[in-house]
Structure 1
Amino acid sequence: MSQESRTMATPLVRGMGSFFKNCRCTRQNRCPHPYALRYRDASGRQREETGYSTQQDAMDRLTSVYHEKRHTPERQAAAQREIGRQRFGPYAASWLTRQRHYTPGSVRTVNQVLKSQILPVLDSRRVNTFTTTVVEDFIMSMEERSVGLAVQQNAFDTLKKILLDAHRRGGISADPFVGVISPEYIPRKIAIPTLDEIHALKEHGSDELRVVIDLMHGCGLRNGEAYAANLERLVANDVYRVTEQIDGRTRRPARLKHRKPGEFRECPLPPTVRESLLGYAQTVEIGANGYLLRGQRSPHWGHSTMQYQWWTARKKAGITRKLNPYSLRHFFASNCLSKGVPITDVAEWMGHSNINMTFKIYRHLMPASVGRAARLLNEGL
């Protein structure tokens, strides 16, 4: 930037940095343009920031940075510099190995997003060079490649988790997501099976498929959680405790999504689902661990078994709508919300990590709250 377009920087105590204005106003102490500042962060890299409305705001920020540098132990500062010098690709790989709460399926999903969307663009960039501009350029690159909004949001969310981890550990001095507008994916209208369609699928499906259908549409379980059907999980006549899932690819038990090892959640167990499980248990030989479902060549069900049996039952039932097994979870949510069950409870029973996701997908299924509230309030008046 030329000297003409910038006022002379005002230096402070040695090592604090300086502040200035990027304008040509003759009386810059009274003009409305914001102050900018320049300083060196803990890693020794020069930084510039802008957007401070007063000199005091700029000085407060420089003082905060200076205080942080002065009170950061040398060993910690060296570790932060080492993180900042890393390339994004290796740092992302090390970050993923530290996510011990991720299930194998979640690890595969993150790896796929990294390989297909993020690493081709950002693999070699040093961690300490990430700024809001870099993040916005990455979003624009996805838009230019006509990447779908759902994929854009997944890639953005993954990148944000990795970079905020680096920011928390001191590898990035400033939050690179301040002011960045994330891609907004609006889920398409979900397909909810009718009760007649569910009965038809159960009628034309195998005994094992009926158990899975009952657990998914009656209790809100995910596919893999239903594969792990177990009589030991009936902890009360009306409560089913979900403690694990069967990984659909490896066909091995795995911890729950969004849960740490050993954690569980409980969901309502309708009498019809309880009778279904107990009735099926009387027709099969239950193993030592209490699992009800077995594959022909493995001790557990998997996605391929589910897909084949679901497609066969749907064809025999004459269902032409594009319903998939996950549609059964949508039926559960719709059934709960239409009966006035609070959406917070629905989110907990379905195992969502964030109620915002539940609200975004199922908000339109909730009864009109304003009109309903007006009628209820009127009764108290």
Structure 2
Amino acid sequence: MATTGLTRGMGSFFKECEHPESRWSRCPHEYKIRYRNAAGRQAEESGFVTQDKAKARLAEVYHARKNSPQSQRKAERVQKYGGMNFSGYVAEWLKGQRDLGPASVRNLDSLLRIHLLPAFGSRRMGTFDHKVVEAFIQDMERNGVGLATQTNAFISLKAILLDAHRLGLYEDSPLAGVKAPQYDPRRAVIPSVSQLQEIRDAGDDAFRLVTDLMSGCGLRNGEAYAVNINNIVADDVYRVTEQVNQATWSYARLKHRKVGEYRDVPLPARTRRSIEWYADTYGTVDGYLLRNPTDIGRVMPHYVIDRKWRRIKKSGLADIPEGMVLYGLRHFFASNCLSNGIPVTDVAEWMGHRSIDITFGIYRHLMPGSISRAAQLLDLGLAA
């Protein structure tokens, strides 16, 4: 079956027969047409005796679609936004992002300022396609941009371009076929048990508490800084209710959760004792353990623990794996869970991941399962 196209957007006519196109005018088979209707869905019609009648019907459908109110509104949007440069479009787009928390706004501003606007600031919105996006990712790779930053920059660009696509600026999504930056699990540097102990012992009491919370309960940095004695809801359960916001230096809702939402995580006995010891030794303020060293009326800022971490790395007092960052303490929690057979669904929930795909993508190399291992276990079950 051959097809013949017309002006872009009009569709095509064809015959479903064994004859080549050069003989269509003489063969007895009817013509068919294929086009996209007003809803954008592909449609077909048949029963056209001549090529001229098939073309005439395609032209009729095309002009009806072009003159519909919906198409006219789309044309107006394309005219308004297609020639707008990226920086101007982003300024309008940002006004609609009212659900972003302060930390997300700060991160987005950084990505725009450092990566997206320098690359696309003056580019007209109507000129984006998959080649432009692919080139942007390749440039970040060549320039040695960290993979986490590459991923976040791509996600931000994707959100902006999908918004433009919904307005009708592109016939085909400029993201179609683009391979997003891929997470390399080797970058999740995880300390061994002995290395974790050395790291813990090299810090002061506040740093040791943070180490125990991140490695024992899987808390994020900011969640550990907001530790509260009243959140021990059972001997083996800690309730994560808030975090210290890096941008505002205040307590804020959890990532990916609304105000008032929480998640319960396992509380190892060692971590519980660490919390209780610190509270007995230093006291609390409304139940909070970690406070600003210069003013206990304020929250513990991120930079305090970050500085302690850098001093430990510089001191050489602990055997720290090459490339490990403070977040590696949280990676240890995931590794400990998965290597002991705890389901990845539970680990994803405890770590507060938005999707199990995130957990699986980062930590799948830590999961002990394999086809051979599964076959052995299934065989044992069948033999029982």
Using structure 1 for the length normalisation, give the TM-score. 0.76
Deviation for aligned residue 1:308: 2.5
Asked whether 1:176 is paired with 2:174, we answer: yes
The answer to whether the Cα contact below 8 Å between 1:245 and 1:253 also exists between their aligned partners in 2 is: yes
User: What is the total number of aligned residue pairs between the two structures?
Assistant: 353
Deviation for aligned residue 1:144: 6.4
**2:334, 2:167 → 1: CA distance?**
39
- Partner amino acid for 1:308? R
The answer to whether the Cα contact below 8 Å between 1:244 and 1:264 also exists between their aligned partners in 2 is: yes
**2:23, 2:84 → 1: CA distance?**
40
**2:67, 2:364 → 1: CA distance?**
47
SS in 2 for 1:235: strand
CA spacing shift, 1:72–1:229, aligned 2, 3 Å: same
**1:224, 1:143 → 2: CA distance?**
29
SS in 1 for 2:278: helix
Deviation for aligned residue 1:294: 1.0
CA spacing shift, 1:183–1:197, aligned 2, 3 Å: closer
Computing the radius of gyration over CA atoms, which structure comes out larger, 1 or 2?
2
Deviation for aligned residue 1:274: 1.6
TM-superposition CA deviations, 1:217-268 (whole Å, max 9, x none): 0000011110001122222332222222112354222222223333322211
Match of 2:289 among 286, 292, 297: 292
Deviation for aligned residue 1:270: 1.5
- What pairs with 1:298-317 in structure 2 (closer than 5 Å)? 298=295, 299-313=298-312, 315=315, 317=317
**1:251, 1:85 → 2: CA distance?**
41
Using structure 2 for the length normalisation, give the TM-score. 0.76
- Which deviates the most, 103-112 or 346-355? 103-112
The answer to whether the Cα contact below 8 Å between 1:17 and 1:40 also exists between their aligned partners in 2 is: no
**1:148, 1:313 → 2: CA distance?**
23
Give the superposed CA RMSD: 4.1
Partner of 2:238: 240
- Which deviates the most, 86-95 or 237-246? 86-95
Deviation for aligned residue 1:84: 4.7
SS in 2 for 1:380: helix
Deviation for aligned residue 1:312: 4.0
- What pairs with 1:215-364 in structure 2 (closer than 5 Å)? 215-288=213-286, 290-298=287-295, 299-313=298-312, 315=315, 317-322=317-322, 323-364=324-365
**2:5, 2:171 → 1: CA distance?**
25
CA spacing shift, 1:346–1:87, aligned 2, 3 Å: same
SS in 1 for 2:233: strand
Deviation for aligned residue 1:336: 0.1
Structure 1 residues without counterparts, runs of 5 or longer? 1-5, 31-35, 43-51
- What pairs with 1:1-381 in structure 2 (closer than 5 Å)? 9=6, 17-19=10-12, 27=22, 70=68, 72=70, 82-84=80-82, 86-139=84-137, 141-142=139-140, 151-288=149-286, 290-298=287-295, 299-313=298-312, 315=315, 317-322=317-322, 323-381=324-382
Structure 2 residues without counterparts, runs of 5 or longer? 15-19, 26-32, 47-56
**1:98, 1:167 → 2: CA distance?**
16
**2:36, 2:374 → 1: CA distance?**
55
**2:279, 2:63 → 1: CA distance?**
65
The answer to whether the Cα contact below 8 Å between 1:86 and 1:126 also exists between their aligned partners in 2 is: yes
- Which deviates the most, 367-376 or 95-104? 95-104
**2:75, 2:260 → 1: CA distance?**
36
The answer to whether the Cα contact below 8 Å between 2:38 and 2:65 also exists between their aligned partners in 1 is: no
- Partner amino acid for 2:319? I
- Which deviates the most, 320-329 or 65-74? 65-74
**1:96, 1:354 → 2: CA distance?**
25
**1:111, 1:232 → 2: CA distance?**
35
**1:28, 1:327 → 2: CA distance?**
70
**1:146, 1:319 → 2: CA distance?**
27
**1:198, 1:10 → 2: CA distance?**
66
SS in 2 for 1:188: helix
CA spacing shift, 1:98–1:230, aligned 2, 3 Å: farther
Identity, % of aligned positions = 45
**2:277, 2:178 → 1: CA distance?**
55
The answer to whether the Cα contact below 8 Å between 1:20 and 1:37 also exists between their aligned partners in 2 is: yes
The answer to whether the Cα contact below 8 Å between 1:135 and 1:177 also exists between their aligned partners in 2 is: yes
CA spacing shift, 1:134–1:68, aligned 2, 3 Å: farther
Deviation for aligned residue 1:139: 3.9
Deviation for aligned residue 1:345: 1.5
Partner of 2:50: none
**2:76, 2:210 → 1: CA distance?**
54
